[in-house]
Structure 1
Amino acid sequence: MEQEKPLTSNMALFGNVYKVLFRRTSTFAITIMVGAVVFERVFDQAGDALFEELNRGKLWKHIKHNYESKDE
């Protein structure tokens, strides 16, 4: 009996999400487009962070102080 309560609250949450985002075709399409844009931004940022972490000390922005002169 105790496990039914979280299940019903999850079902209520999914029901509300369905009513708000997926019930109409227009809101479903907008949800998919916004989700794709957000996913692309997060994936791109994570990829850049991983690349910079794996190449720390090898990128120009990390070593340019070794090659720039301080002529003024």
Structure 2
Amino acid sequence: MAITGAVYNLLFRRTSTFAITIMVGAVFFERMFDQGGDAIFEEINRGKLWKHIKHRYENTEDADE
């Protein structure tokens, strides 16, 4: 009960801190959701994406000229 009371007094008691808490939480959630989705996509498509196969198609001899 002490933790919930402290969280309430710190973040939710005033409307301004409540609104800021919601905004920061939404930004944090969006970043974590986006990075998680990208990680899942890359894991499913491992070996099929350009960054995984570009070494097969790049010609290092042309870079020396």
Give TM-score, length-normalised by structure 1: 0.84
Structure 2 match to 1:38: 28
SS in 2 for 1:56: coil
- Taking the aligned partners of 1:68 and 1:29, their CA distance within structure 2 comes to 50
Structure 1 match to 2:57: 67
Deviation at 1:70, TM superposition (A): 1.1
Q: CA RMSD in A?
A: 0.5
- Taking the aligned partners of 2:7 and 2:54, their CA distance within structure 1 comes to 50
Paired residue total: 62
Q: Which residue, 24, 39, 43 being the options, matches 1:49?
A: 39
Task: Give the aligned residue type for 1:49.
Answer: A
SS in 1 for 2:60: coil
Give TM-score, length-normalised by structure 2: 0.92
More helix, by proportion: 2
